[in-house]
Structure 1
Amino acid sequence: MFDLQGFVASAAAFLVAFLAAGLFTAAFKVIYQWVTPYDEAKLIREGNVAAALALGGALIGYVLPLASALSHTVSLLEFCAWAALAGVIQIAAFTLIRMTVMKDVSARIERGELAAGVYLSSISLAVGLINAACMTS
Protein backbone atom coordinates (compact mmCIF):
# COMPACT_ATOMS: atom_id res chain seq x y z
CA MET A 1 0.00 0.00 0.00
CA PHE A 2 1.20 3.49 -0.83
CA ASP A 3 1.95 5.69 2.18
CA LEU A 4 0.93 9.15 0.98
CA GLN A 5 1.89 10.93 4.22
CA GLY A 6 5.31 9.31 4.23
CA PHE A 7 5.80 10.23 0.58
CA VAL A 8 4.81 13.85 1.16
CA ALA A 9 7.21 14.14 4.10
CA SER A 10 10.02 12.53 2.12
CA ALA A 11 9.28 14.67 -0.94
CA ALA A 12 9.40 17.82 1.19
CA ALA A 13 12.76 16.78 2.67
CA PHE A 14 14.02 16.00 -0.85
CA LEU A 15 12.97 19.42 -2.14
CA VAL A 16 14.64 21.24 0.77
CA ALA A 17 17.87 19.26 0.30
CA PHE A 18 17.82 19.72 -3.48
CA LEU A 19 17.20 23.46 -3.16
CA ALA A 20 19.96 23.85 -0.57
CA ALA A 21 22.42 21.89 -2.73
CA GLY A 22 21.44 23.92 -5.79
CA LEU A 23 21.91 27.22 -3.96
CA PHE A 24 25.29 26.14 -2.59
CA THR A 25 26.37 25.02 -6.06
CA ALA A 26 25.33 28.34 -7.60
CA ALA A 27 27.11 30.26 -4.84
CA PHE A 28 30.25 28.15 -5.30
CA LYS A 29 30.23 28.81 -9.06
CA VAL A 30 29.96 32.56 -8.53
CA ILE A 31 32.71 32.62 -5.89
CA TYR A 32 34.98 30.31 -7.89
CA GLN A 33 34.62 32.48 -10.98
CA TRP A 34 35.35 35.56 -8.87
CA VAL A 35 38.55 33.94 -7.51
CA THR A 36 39.92 32.81 -10.86
CA PRO A 37 42.05 35.40 -12.65
CA TYR A 38 40.29 34.88 -15.97
CA ASP A 39 36.70 35.40 -17.11
CA GLU A 40 35.30 31.87 -17.61
CA ALA A 41 31.93 33.06 -18.88
CA LYS A 42 33.51 35.18 -21.62
CA LEU A 43 36.03 32.50 -22.54
CA ILE A 44 33.39 29.77 -22.69
CA ARG A 45 31.12 31.97 -24.85
CA GLU A 46 34.10 32.34 -27.20
CA GLY A 47 34.46 28.55 -27.42
CA ASN A 48 37.43 28.13 -25.08
CA VAL A 49 37.35 24.42 -24.23
CA ALA A 50 40.12 24.71 -21.63
CA ALA A 51 38.06 27.20 -19.61
CA ALA A 52 34.97 24.99 -19.90
CA LEU A 53 36.92 21.94 -18.72
CA ALA A 54 38.45 23.79 -15.78
CA LEU A 55 35.11 25.23 -14.63
CA GLY A 56 33.23 21.99 -15.26
CA GLY A 57 35.78 20.03 -13.25
CA ALA A 58 35.57 22.51 -10.40
CA LEU A 59 31.77 22.22 -10.33
CA ILE A 60 31.81 18.42 -10.39
CA GLY A 61 34.62 18.42 -7.83
CA TYR A 62 32.44 20.56 -5.59
CA VAL A 63 29.22 18.60 -6.11
CA LEU A 64 30.84 15.25 -5.24
CA PRO A 65 31.26 16.17 -1.55
CA LEU A 66 27.80 17.76 -1.55
CA ALA A 67 26.35 14.42 -2.58
CA SER A 68 28.31 12.73 0.20
CA ALA A 69 27.16 15.31 2.72
CA LEU A 70 23.55 14.85 1.65
CA SER A 71 23.92 11.11 2.22
CA HIS A 72 25.66 11.33 5.58
CA THR A 73 24.28 14.34 7.42
CA VAL A 74 21.23 14.36 9.61
CA SER A 75 20.28 18.04 9.52
CA LEU A 76 20.16 20.92 7.10
CA LEU A 77 22.53 22.93 9.30
CA GLU A 78 25.10 20.12 9.28
CA PHE A 79 24.80 19.84 5.48
CA CYS A 80 25.34 23.60 5.15
CA ALA A 81 28.51 23.42 7.25
CA TRP A 82 29.92 20.58 5.11
CA ALA A 83 28.91 22.37 1.90
CA ALA A 84 30.72 25.53 2.98
CA LEU A 85 33.82 23.57 3.98
CA ALA A 86 33.83 21.73 0.65
CA GLY A 87 33.78 25.06 -1.20
CA VAL A 88 36.64 26.45 0.84
CA ILE A 89 38.72 23.33 0.20
CA GLN A 90 38.02 23.36 -3.55
CA ILE A 91 38.95 27.05 -3.87
CA ALA A 92 42.03 26.57 -1.69
CA ALA A 93 43.17 23.73 -3.98
CA PHE A 94 42.81 25.94 -7.07
CA THR A 95 44.67 28.77 -5.35
CA LEU A 96 47.48 26.45 -4.27
CA ILE A 97 47.88 25.10 -7.81
CA ARG A 98 47.81 28.61 -9.25
CA MET A 99 50.44 29.90 -6.84
CA THR A 100 52.82 26.94 -6.94
CA VAL A 101 52.53 24.41 -9.76
CA MET A 102 50.95 26.44 -12.55
CA LYS A 103 51.74 30.12 -12.03
CA ASP A 104 50.85 30.89 -15.65
CA VAL A 105 47.42 29.24 -15.46
CA SER A 106 45.54 32.39 -16.42
CA ALA A 107 47.46 32.88 -19.66
CA ARG A 108 47.29 29.17 -20.48
CA ILE A 109 43.51 28.98 -19.98
CA GLU A 110 42.98 32.23 -21.90
CA ARG A 111 45.00 30.74 -24.80
CA GLY A 112 42.76 27.69 -24.70
CA GLU A 113 45.48 25.21 -23.80
CA LEU A 114 43.62 21.95 -23.26
CA ALA A 115 46.40 20.50 -21.11
CA ALA A 116 45.88 23.28 -18.55
CA GLY A 117 42.10 22.79 -18.56
CA VAL A 118 42.37 19.02 -18.19
CA TYR A 119 44.95 19.38 -15.41
CA LEU A 120 42.80 21.85 -13.44
CA SER A 121 39.74 19.69 -13.99
CA SER A 122 41.59 16.58 -12.80
CA ILE A 123 42.87 18.32 -9.67
CA SER A 124 39.35 19.53 -8.87
CA LEU A 125 37.88 16.05 -9.33
CA ALA A 126 40.60 14.45 -7.21
CA VAL A 127 40.11 16.99 -4.42
CA GLY A 128 36.34 16.51 -4.63
CA LEU A 129 36.62 12.72 -4.36
CA ILE A 130 38.94 12.91 -1.38
CA ASN A 131 36.73 15.55 0.20
CA ALA A 132 33.64 13.38 -0.31
CA ALA A 133 35.34 10.32 1.13
CA CYS A 134 36.44 12.23 4.20
CA MET A 135 32.84 13.16 4.94
CA THR A 136 31.82 9.54 5.45
CA SER A 137 33.53 9.12 8.81
Structure 2
Amino acid sequence: MESTFGSILSALGAGLPVLLLQLAVTLALLVAGVFVYTRITPFDERRLVSDGNAAGGLTLGGSIVALAIPLAATLATSTVILDIVMWGLVALILQLVAFAVATLMIRDLRGQIEAGNVASAAALVGVQLGVAVINAAAMAG
Protein backbone atom coordinates (compact mmCIF):
# COMPACT_ATOMS: atom_id res chain seq x y z
CA MET A 1 0.00 0.00 0.00
CA GLU A 2 2.76 2.42 0.92
CA SER A 3 4.67 1.78 -2.31
CA THR A 4 1.58 2.51 -4.43
CA PHE A 5 0.94 5.75 -2.56
CA GLY A 6 4.61 6.65 -2.87
CA SER A 7 4.51 5.99 -6.61
CA ILE A 8 1.48 8.25 -6.96
CA LEU A 9 3.19 11.05 -5.03
CA SER A 10 6.34 10.62 -7.06
CA ALA A 11 4.42 10.80 -10.35
CA LEU A 12 2.54 13.86 -9.11
CA GLY A 13 5.79 15.54 -8.10
CA ALA A 14 7.28 14.90 -11.52
CA GLY A 15 4.20 15.72 -13.58
CA LEU A 16 2.71 18.69 -11.76
CA PRO A 17 5.44 21.20 -12.67
CA VAL A 18 5.14 20.20 -16.35
CA LEU A 19 1.36 20.51 -16.23
CA LEU A 20 1.55 23.94 -14.62
CA LEU A 21 4.11 25.19 -17.13
CA GLN A 22 2.11 23.95 -20.12
CA LEU A 23 -1.08 25.42 -18.66
CA ALA A 24 0.62 28.78 -18.04
CA VAL A 25 2.01 28.90 -21.59
CA THR A 26 -1.37 28.05 -23.09
CA LEU A 27 -3.19 30.60 -20.94
CA ALA A 28 -0.61 33.22 -21.94
CA LEU A 29 -1.33 32.39 -25.60
CA LEU A 30 -5.06 32.78 -24.93
CA VAL A 31 -4.55 36.16 -23.25
CA ALA A 32 -2.39 37.28 -26.18
CA GLY A 33 -5.02 36.07 -28.65
CA VAL A 34 -7.82 37.91 -26.83
CA PHE A 35 -5.64 41.03 -26.68
CA VAL A 36 -5.03 40.95 -30.43
CA TYR A 37 -8.68 40.13 -31.11
CA THR A 38 -9.89 43.12 -29.10
CA ARG A 39 -7.49 45.36 -31.00
CA ILE A 40 -8.56 44.25 -34.48
CA THR A 41 -12.31 44.32 -33.91
CA PRO A 42 -14.08 47.45 -35.13
CA PHE A 43 -15.88 47.87 -31.80
CA ASP A 44 -14.87 48.33 -28.15
CA GLU A 45 -15.95 45.13 -26.41
CA ARG A 46 -15.10 46.34 -22.90
CA ARG A 47 -17.29 49.40 -23.32
CA LEU A 48 -20.10 47.39 -24.88
CA VAL A 49 -20.03 44.83 -22.08
CA SER A 50 -19.90 47.49 -19.35
CA ASP A 51 -22.86 49.23 -21.04
CA GLY A 52 -24.85 46.00 -20.87
CA ASN A 53 -24.81 45.37 -24.62
CA ALA A 54 -25.74 41.68 -24.97
CA ALA A 55 -24.41 41.47 -28.53
CA GLY A 56 -21.03 42.80 -27.40
CA GLY A 57 -20.89 40.34 -24.52
CA LEU A 58 -21.89 37.43 -26.73
CA THR A 59 -19.29 38.37 -29.32
CA LEU A 60 -16.49 38.73 -26.77
CA GLY A 61 -17.40 35.57 -24.85
CA GLY A 62 -17.82 33.51 -28.00
CA SER A 63 -14.51 34.76 -29.34
CA ILE A 64 -12.69 33.77 -26.17
CA VAL A 65 -14.13 30.26 -26.38
CA ALA A 66 -13.35 30.07 -30.11
CA LEU A 67 -9.73 31.02 -29.42
CA ALA A 68 -9.48 28.53 -26.54
CA ILE A 69 -10.79 25.46 -28.40
CA PRO A 70 -7.85 24.99 -30.81
CA LEU A 71 -5.40 25.97 -28.07
CA ALA A 72 -6.85 23.18 -25.94
CA ALA A 73 -6.34 20.71 -28.80
CA THR A 74 -2.76 21.86 -29.16
CA LEU A 75 -2.19 21.46 -25.44
CA ALA A 76 -3.75 17.99 -25.46
CA THR A 77 -1.59 16.72 -28.31
CA SER A 78 1.77 18.40 -27.62
CA THR A 79 4.28 17.61 -24.91
CA VAL A 80 7.02 20.12 -25.75
CA ILE A 81 6.57 23.79 -24.86
CA LEU A 82 7.96 25.00 -28.19
CA ASP A 83 5.45 22.77 -29.99
CA ILE A 84 2.61 24.23 -27.93
CA VAL A 85 3.77 27.77 -28.67
CA MET A 86 4.26 27.24 -32.42
CA TRP A 87 1.00 25.39 -33.04
CA GLY A 88 -0.80 27.66 -30.60
CA LEU A 89 0.28 30.70 -32.62
CA VAL A 90 -0.88 29.00 -35.83
CA ALA A 91 -4.24 28.23 -34.19
CA LEU A 92 -4.67 31.83 -33.04
CA ILE A 93 -3.79 33.24 -36.45
CA LEU A 94 -6.31 30.95 -38.13
CA GLN A 95 -9.00 32.02 -35.66
CA LEU A 96 -8.25 35.70 -36.21
CA VAL A 97 -8.45 35.18 -39.98
CA ALA A 98 -11.82 33.46 -39.47
CA PHE A 99 -13.01 36.55 -37.61
CA ALA A 100 -11.81 38.80 -40.42
CA VAL A 101 -13.62 36.71 -43.03
CA ALA A 102 -16.81 36.64 -40.92
CA THR A 103 -16.77 40.42 -40.64
CA LEU A 104 -16.73 40.62 -44.43
CA MET A 105 -19.75 38.32 -44.61
CA ILE A 106 -21.90 40.26 -42.13
CA ARG A 107 -22.84 43.68 -43.48
CA ASP A 108 -22.25 46.60 -41.08
CA LEU A 109 -21.11 44.29 -38.29
CA ARG A 110 -19.84 47.17 -36.17
CA GLY A 111 -23.13 49.03 -36.32
CA GLN A 112 -25.13 45.90 -35.64
CA ILE A 113 -23.06 44.83 -32.63
CA GLU A 114 -23.02 48.36 -31.20
CA ALA A 115 -26.82 48.51 -31.67
CA GLY A 116 -27.15 45.29 -29.66
CA ASN A 117 -28.18 43.04 -32.55
CA VAL A 118 -27.83 39.63 -30.90
CA ALA A 119 -28.65 37.79 -34.14
CA SER A 120 -25.57 39.25 -35.83
CA ALA A 121 -23.46 38.47 -32.79
CA ALA A 122 -24.73 34.89 -32.77
CA ALA A 123 -23.92 34.49 -36.47
CA LEU A 124 -20.39 35.78 -35.89
CA VAL A 125 -19.88 33.49 -32.90
CA GLY A 126 -21.27 30.55 -34.90
CA VAL A 127 -18.69 31.10 -37.64
CA GLN A 128 -15.90 31.47 -35.08
CA LEU A 129 -16.88 28.34 -33.14
CA GLY A 130 -17.36 26.31 -36.30
CA VAL A 131 -13.87 27.22 -37.49
CA ALA A 132 -12.50 26.61 -33.98
CA VAL A 133 -13.81 23.05 -33.87
CA ILE A 134 -12.41 22.25 -37.33
CA ASN A 135 -9.15 23.99 -36.43
CA ALA A 136 -8.91 21.92 -33.23
CA ALA A 137 -9.54 18.68 -35.12
CA ALA A 138 -6.81 19.58 -37.60
CA MET A 139 -4.43 20.40 -34.75
CA ALA A 140 -5.19 17.07 -33.08
CA GLY A 141 -4.42 15.31 -36.36
Q: Which category describes the TM-score, using the shorter chain as reference length?
A: over 0.9
> What is the CA–CA distance in structure 2 between the aligned matches of 1:113 and 1:103, rounded to whole Å?
12
The TM-score normalised by the length of structure 2 is: 0.92
Partner of 1:21: 26
Query: Which amino acid in 2 is paired with 1:41?
Result: R
> What is the CA–CA distance in structure 2 between the aligned matches of 1:89 and 1:130, rounded to whole Å?
11
Partner of 2:103: 98
* Matching of residue 47 in structure 1 with residue 38 in structure 2: no
Q: CA RMSD in A?
A: 1.0
Query: Which amino acid in 1 is paired with 2:85?
Result: C
> What is the CA–CA distance in structure 2 between the aligned matches of 1:73 and 1:54, rounded to whole Å?
29
> What is the CA–CA distance in structure 2 between the aligned matches of 1:25 and 1:106, rounded to whole Å?
23
Partner of 2:116: 112
Which has the larger displacement, 13-22 or 32-41? 13-22
Question: Which runs of 5 or more structure 2 residues have no equivalent in the other structure?
Answer: none
Identity %: 30
What's the CA shift for 1:66? 1.1
Structure 2 contact 56–116 (Cα < 8 Å) conserved: yes
Query: Which amino acid in 1 is paired with 2:137?
Result: A
Greater Rg over alpha carbons, structure = 2
* Matching of residue 131 in structure 1 with residue 135 in structure 2: yes
Query: Which amino acid in 2 is paired with 1:60?
Result: V
Question: Which runs of 5 or more structure 1 residues have no equivalent in the other structure?
Answer: none
State the 4+ residue runs in structure 1 displaced beyond 3 angstroms.
Answer: none
Aligned residue pairs total 136
What's the CA shift for 1:55? 1.2
* Matching of residue 72 in structure 1 with residue 71 in structure 2: no
Query: Which amino acid in 1 is paired with 2:106?
Result: M
Query: Which amino acid in 2 is paired with 1:61?
Result: A
The TM-score normalised by the length of structure 1 is: 0.95
> What is the CA–CA distance in structure 1 between the aligned matches of 2:117 and 2:93, rounded to whole Å?
26
User: Deviations for 1:84-133, whole angstroms, at most 9, x for unmatched residues?
Assistant: 1111111111111212x113000000000000111111111111100000
